[in-house]
Amino acid sequence: MSFDEMGSEESGMQEHSEDERVYAPDEVFEVPAAAEAGPAMAVAIEDAPKKRGGWRIFVGIVLGLSVLMNLMLLIAIAAMSMFSFGGSGKEFDENTIAKGKSGNKIAVIKIEGIINSVVSDEFRKQIKRAKEDRSVKAVIVRTVTPGGGVAASDQIHHEISKFRKETGKPVVAFMQTVAASGGYYTSVACDRIVAEPTVITGSIGVLMNHLVFKELLEEKLGINPVTIKSGQKKDWPSPFSEMTDEQRLYLEERLIGPAYSRFVKLVDEGRSGLNMEQVLALADGGIYGGPEALENGLVDEVGYIETAIEAAKKLAGIKSAKVVEYTRQFTISSIFGVESKASWKLDRDLLHKLMTPEVLYLWDGRN
């Protein structure tokens, strides 16, 4: 290779290097990526915005359908709720638990949980429903409760007695699991008592719980409560002071004694096979199993729901009956908890309830 050829080649290399250094960067940034990638990639990039737009439309459709379906569901619930309150005129449905002659019904009404004003009010509504249904020939009160408030238990006893007196139709108590204290109090209003073999019943007596916060407030929190009262007995018993013997005797005389006397009196009236002396011997707050309760005259039979049904039919003078149990109809308020009265919000009402002693027909299994 001659010197001129080498020079020419070297000059060409320099020119090429200069082109790469000067022109290549501009070409890289100025030429679109789609052009470098070829026609197929260019088409894909052009379609990308359209695909993103399609996804937006799809998501919008889904959200729109979701809102529409939820709205339709709410409308349906509201319509069902309005029907249950106004359309049928009835708050309760009838669930058949034993088939039989439809013209003869035996209605089963439940007393379940701690007996309070809500339970007694529900019971009143259901027994009213049974009273208004001419095809109901007898009622079974299915009782599963350790008892509860004195007033609420007495209200249920009154409703049963009133039903029997006004309709002349029999009522059978069927006690399951636990039917103690207030649960037994309501049962003695019935014509007959059937108890499961494993039931816990009895507990004839009165209970009052009382909380004292004195030490907690003064020694732990440094709070010294002050009470201004018009009379010595106005705040007895007080949660801010220890109970004295005088206060205890006062409460026993004014609250415990009268409630206990009424319990014993109603058991004596409801259990014809027992005299007052026998009732008082049993009314020491003690509990009894089914067979022991039968032996002591507290119940009439030991058996199951079939036994209670047969007893109801016999008392009503019928051979066949359709046995139904009342259940509350579906409502929108029950879905959203509007009917629930058990609010545990920390407010003055709750504090008052916690600090106020309550006289109870209750078997407290913790003691």
For the stretch 168-201, pLDDT in tens is 999 999 999 999 999 999 999 999 999 999 999 9
Contacts with 238 (C-beta within 8 Å, 6 or more apart), sequence order: 227
Q: What is the pLDDT of residue 128?
A: 96
Judge whether 127 and 160 are in contact, CB under 8 Å: yes
Confidence of residue 233 (pLDDT cuts 50, 70, 90): confident
Active site residues: 181, 234
Examine the pLDDT at 322 and tell me if it is beyond 50: yes
Judge whether 217 and 224 are in contact, CB under 8 Å: yes
Examine the pLDDT at 6 and tell me if it is beyond 50: no
Examine the pLDDT at 26 and tell me if it is beyond 60: no
Through-space distance between the first and last CA atoms of the chain, rounded to whole angstroms:
118
Judge whether 325 and 141 are in contact, CB under 8 Å: no
DSSP annotation of 87: I
Calpha distance 289→177 (Å, rounded): 10
Q: What is the pLDDT of residue 180?
A: 97
211 vs 314, higher pLDDT:
314
Q: Which one of 14-28, 46-60, 319-333 scores highest in mean pLDDT?
A: 319-333
Model confidence pLDDT, tens digit, residues 246-268: 988 988 999 999 999 999 999 99
- Which residues are 98's β-sheet partners? 323
- 58-61: list long-range contacts, CB under 8 Å, 24+ apart: none
Model confidence pLDDT, tens digit, residues 109-127: 999 999 999 999 999 999 9
How many Å separate Cα 53 from the centre of its chain? 49
% of the chain residues with pLDDT over 90 = 49
Confidence of residue 66 (pLDDT cuts 50, 70, 90): confident
What is the pTM (predicted TM-score) of this model? 0.70
Q: What is the pLDDT of residue 259?
A: 96
Q: What is the pLDDT of residue 122?
A: 96
Q: Is 94 helix (H, G, I), strand (E, B) or coil?
A: strand
Angstrom distances, CA of residue 25 to CA of 20, 35, 240 = 8, 16, 89
Peptide bond into 39 cis (omega under 30): no
Examine the pLDDT at 85 and tell me if it is beyond 50: no
Positive or negative, the CA dihedral 138, 142, 147, 148 is negative
Examine the pLDDT at 15 and tell me if it is beyond 50: no
Judge whether 281 and 273 are in contact, CB under 8 Å: no
- 78-84: list long-range contacts, CB under 8 Å, 24+ apart: 78/332, 80/330, 80/331, 80/332, 81/330, 81/331, 81/332, 81/333, 84/329, 84/330, 84/331
Judge whether 110 and 142 are in contact, CB under 8 Å: yes
Q: How big is the chain by its Cα radius of gyration, in Å?
A: 40
- Give me the phi and psi of 69, to 5 degrees please: -65, -40
DSSP string, 195-254: E-TT-EEE--S-EEE----HHIIIIIS--------SSTTTTPSPTTSPPPHHHHHHHIII
Q: What is the pLDDT of residue 188?
A: 98
